[in-house]
Amino acid sequence: MLTKKEIRYCLDEIARMFPDAQCELNHRNPFELLIAVVLSAQCTDVLVNKVTKTLFEKYKTPEDYLNVPLEELQQDIRSIGLWRNKSKNIQKLCKMLIEKYDGEVPADRDLLMELPGVGRKTANVVASVAFNIPAIAVDTHVERVSKRLGICRWKDSVLQVEETLMKKVPKEEWGITHHRLIFFGRYHCKAQNPNCLECPLLSLCREGKKRTKGLERSNETK
């Protein structure tokens, strides 16, 4: 496991690599962000943005999503994975927003998590990005990077990864660290073929050391 000083070094290097890291889901307000994050489950941001480009022109308020048959909404998001469940959840959460919050997205993680289709990760993203509430949302990239580097343990659950990051990262950096770890995992420390040999964190990374040792042995046998 990395020491506090080593974690600080990692965060600073990742910040240097991705100084402009930010949410890549296109949105103009908290409601659009909420819909986009719900759609993004097990789906790429690129595909979500492609769908929401037209979706957000047609549907601008919670009422708009309820004023069409479920089948019509399903057709509008059909190119996105899990579109059947997502369309049902979107209509249910829109109904709850109208009934409980006058159509506004609540600026509270616990209240967000009560909405249909909204889990802890989605609530953390919306709270952090839309309302600047300190939070670290743990997606597949954040989890992978945290475990590979040794910030967290391999066996840690998603919630344990979040709790560990909250302990080891200064609270005022939670939001930006979330985005930087995503960028680092999405564009550099990829699930397949991570760029270990050109990584400034290689000397500290337990996973990177294993992978590069293997590459060195294969090069020696050529």
Q: Which residues are annotated as a binding site?
A: 189, 196, 199, 205
Q: d(Cα 204, Cα 210) in Å, to the nearest integer?
A: 11
Q: Which residues of 174-183 are buried (b: 16+ CB within 10 A; e: fewer)?
A: bbbbbbbbbb
Helices (H), the chain: 4-17, 30-39, 45-58, 62-66, 70-76, 83-101, 109-112, 120-131, 140-149, 158-168, 174-187, 206-220
Q: Count Cα neighbours of 81 within 13 Å in the Cβ-side half-sphere.
A: 8
Type of residue found at 90? I
- Listed in sequence order, the residues at least 6 apart from 96 whose beta carbon sits closer than 8 Å to its beta carbon are 114, 115, 116
The answer to whether 163 and 189 have CB atoms below 8 angstroms apart is: no
* Distance of alpha carbon 5 from alpha carbon 7, whole angstroms: 5
Active site residues: 121, 139
Q: Are 69 and 60 in contact (CB under 8 A)?
A: no
Q: Is 26 helix (H, G, I), strand (E, B) or coil?
A: coil
